[in-house]
Chain A
Amino acid sequence: MMRKRSIMVASIAAATALMLTACTPGSNNANPSDESTDRTVKTDVSAMGDLTLTVWDQEVRGGQDEQMTKLNAAFEEKYPNITIKRVSQSFDDLNKTLRLALSGDDAPDVVQANNARNSMGAFVQAGQIVSLDPWAEAYGWEDRYSESVLTYSRYSSDGVTFGEGSIFGLPQVGEVVGVFYSKSALKDAGVEVPETWDDFTSALKTVKDAGQTPLLLGNIEKWPAIHDFGLVQGALVPSDEIATLGFGNEGASWTTPENEKAASTLATWAKDGYFNEGVNGTDYDAAWQKLTDGSGTFLIGGSWLAADLEDAMGDDVGFFAPTSSVGEGIHTTGGTGLPFTVTSASQYPDLAAAYIDFITNEDAMQVLADTGNLPVVNTADYAPESGVQADVFGVFHSVTTDGVLLPYLDYATPTMADTLGSSLQGLLDGRTSPEEFTKAIEKDYADFVAQN
């Protein structure tokens, strides 16, 4: 008995010791490779020999999957010496597995990484993806993309500053948040389609007085209200301030009168009954579906809803983004699809960059448009002639060329999506005052900036 027990104690002790002396978490990660920026870039893919390129993407839905399949096939056809190994999984799954995949021995060559601090920012900081600057010069990416779009893929090489510095990825598609509306509901209320912010706010009141529900929102998932707030903030706060806040960079503050005004505007809308009943208990999908059955007039939402709304409403649905009241064209929340990045573990960065160039060039944009996506480059050229998609393409074009595309506010810090989502639920419920709201967000932002 004694001996048995001592063996057991010894083995437990050994196991514990082994565990505690085992490596510190994160220490087995790939070391950041020192890519010099003046390296010679090879762009001739046919001369690279027989290679296999591993690509991880999240283009799993209908038209997205279709464009990816087509573009990959076209690439392989153009360069028979290259085989593309595509691993496709949903956005959520990709986000959860990417961290482990990048730090493993068998990392993919090209991955789609979310622009946000907690994805792309963290990968840049950990040295797991490479700067694409040398290839951007060789392929002329800065001429291809508008600066407003490229900003979303720029990080300083230490990962501290977002929105400036090297290009770390290229997106294929664009996203823009604006206002969907029911044409027939507007007509019933006798309101013209609003163009400016003041038009929009007065339209809300007129529509409410006419007995309709002006704004639809389903916020049980916490994040949907971020888009509503983003639109209001875009209209009331100078765009450079929002960009600094949204990118989580030093030098701005949430506790300004303009930001408080934005918060109190949203809170007042909720208090005055502009939203449907119980927004915090309503599903996101249920809310946009209400627009299709006529139980609401306006819906603040993103371009990704356009196809579904058009299917259900046909010509009755329209899309606009009001110009801001602070004097610069349209600036509204939006962004890009997930950018394609090159991992530092990749042995063929030249091939990886050539692939990214191929899936974002002019021919690729045509393929994207044909498969029902919103091409991020020269968007207006691909716009359909009529329907809500024409509106969406138009708004995206004018925002990226004349206006400002503002970052999603949750890009700012790793914890911002959570803080903002929960605080907005409180604001809409009337539990959190606009001052408390901006203070809570400022704390998250300031803590991150101070630590970074």
Chain B
Amino acid sequence: MQTSSPRTDRTGRGANAASRPARRYQYSAYLYILPALLIYGAFMLFPLGRAVHLSFFEWDGLTLGTFIGFENYLDIVADEQLRAAFVHALVLMFFFAILPVCIGLVLAALLTRAKVRGLPLFRTVVFLPQVIAMVVVAVTWRQIYAPDGLLNSALRAVGLDAVTRSWLGDYDIALPAVGLIGTWVCTGLVTVLLMAGMAKIPVEQYESARLDGAGPIREFFSITVPSVRAETTVALTLTLIASLKTFDLIYMTTRGGPGYSTTVPSYEVYRRAFELGQVGSAAAVGVTITVIIFIISLIVNRLGERSSA
């Protein structure tokens, strides 16, 4: 959404600056986008508006709702469980966005600069988690993390019995464990994006840097990282949104457990609407996530634009 708004703004300004007769065409132009607008309105804007509307009610989805104003929103601040869910989302942002971008930068730089044989194969392997449905990913990792699963077996095999644990059943470990699944999934996308960016960096830059006596690490920080700022912005936007939207992963691995140690806002939306019968509260959480995602992508894009300018 935020990518299209500046564009319409610009055409608006352009049309305004143009001579008056051009105005007549403006209205007929709306006819062209009308079908798309109608569909967008019916399936996106109307449900969104309806969700906002519902968020002002206390409603069980069955009997008559009660209008309670902003109380559902105040609950988000007051309710300890809901607050925790938003904190968990922050933790997941690290695992879904920050960590993959760091790993992705290094991995992409290595893969681009190393000129290895079979590069397409590496690229495919790294990208693979993106292609697999999240539900499948979650089920597979649940097996890996199981008390007698692959991870614990491997640890036992190398004599690290003390480290083995019930990864998804441990109150302190469950959230990072789920987060690492996200890292595994997101790193591929980030790496491929950054590799595309790095491929565009002129080789001459590296050559001149080397003449100036720069080592590989200096090259990485002085040339590679600044050159892929735009790609990094895109990668961050996508992964941050992914981290805030995470529902399937939580639902399939832990159902927010043990206790409430891995609940996230989007899981709370589902839990409240379908399990607890608190539709209004669910809508309020949903609207809040939407606003947060909107603000975050706005900030990331502003930062990206400013620094690339």
CB within 8 Å of B: which residues of A? 1, 4, 15-16, 19-20, 22, 24-27, 29, 95-96, 99, 102-103, 118, 122-123, 125-126, 128, 219-222, 276-283, 286, 414-415, 417-418, 421-423, 425-426, 429, 431
CB within 8 Å of A: which residues of B? 12, 16, 26, 49-50, 52-54, 57, 59-65, 67, 142, 145-148, 165-171, 174, 254-260, 271, 274-277, 279-280
Task: Tell me the nearest residue of chain B to A413, going by C-beta.
Answer: B276
Q: A25-B54, A418-B275 are in contact. List 16 more A-B contacts (CB 8 A).
A: A15-B49, A24-B57, A24-B65, A25-B61, A29-B63, A128-B62, A220-B254, A222-B257, A279-B166, A281-B146, A281-B166, A282-B169, A422-B258, A422-B259, A423-B259, A426-B258
Q: List 5 A-B contacts (CB under 8 A).
A: A19-B50, A26-B62, A219-B169, A280-B166, A282-B169
* Contact status A26-B59, CB under 8 Å: yes
* Contact status A118-B277, CB under 8 Å: yes
* Contact status A279-B146, CB under 8 Å: no
* Contact status A286-B146, CB under 8 Å: yes
What number of A-B contacts does a CB cutoff of 8 Å give? 127
- Chain A residues whose CB sits within 8 angstroms of the CB of B260 once the complex forms: 422
Task: Tell me the nearest residue of chain B to A426, going by C-beta.
Answer: B259
- Chain A residues whose CB sits within 8 angstroms of the CB of B63 once the complex forms: 26, 29, 122, 125-126
* Contact status B255-A25, CB under 8 Å: no
Determine how close the nearest CB of chain A comes to the CB of B63; give it in whole angstroms.
Answer: 5
Q: Determine which of A95, A99, A125, A220 lies in contact with B168 in the assembled complex, contact meaning CB atoms within 8 Å.
A: A220
* Contact status A220-B257, CB under 8 Å: yes
Measured in the bound complex, the distance between the Cα atoms of B259 and A280 in whole Å is 9
Determine how close the nearest CB of chain A comes to the CB of B141; give it in whole angstroms.
Answer: 12
* Contact status A25-B65, CB under 8 Å: yes
Determine how close the nearest CB of chain A comes to the CB of B225; give it in whole angstroms.
Answer: 39
Measured in the bound complex, the distance between the Cα atoms of B280 and A15 in whole Å is 20
Determine how close the nearest CB of chain B comes to the CB of A22; give it in whole angstroms.
Answer: 7
Measured in the bound complex, the distance between the Cα atoms of B148 and A282 in whole Å is 9
Smallest CB-CB A-B distances: 5 pairs: A278-B166, A281-B169, A280-B169, A281-B166, A278-B147
Task: Indicate whether A29 sits within 8 Å of B49 (C-beta atoms), given known contacts A277-B166, A280-B166.
Answer: no
- Chain A residues whose CB sits within 8 angstroms of the CB of B167 once the complex forms: 281
- Chain B residues whose CB sits within 8 angstroms of the CB of A15 once the complex forms: 49
- Chain A residues whose CB sits within 8 angstroms of the CB of B54 once the complex forms: 25
- Chain B residues whose CB sits within 8 angstroms of the CB of A220 once the complex forms: 142, 168-169, 254-255, 257
Q: Determine which of A27, A102, A283, A429 lies in contact with B146 in the assembled complex, contact meaning CB atoms within 8 Å.
A: A283
Measured in the bound complex, the distance between the Cα atoms of B147 and A278 in whole Å is 6
- Chain A residues whose CB sits within 8 angstroms of the CB of B49 once the complex forms: 15-16, 19
- Chain A residues whose CB sits within 8 angstroms of the CB of B165 once the complex forms: 278
Measured in the bound complex, the distance between the Cα atoms of B169 and A280 in whole Å is 4
* Contact status B50-A280, CB under 8 Å: no
- Chain A residues whose CB sits within 8 angstroms of the CB of B275 once the complex forms: 417-418
Measured in the bound complex, the distance between the Cα atoms of B277 and A122 in whole Å is 10
Measured in the bound complex, the distance between the Cα atoms of B53 and A16 in whole Å is 9
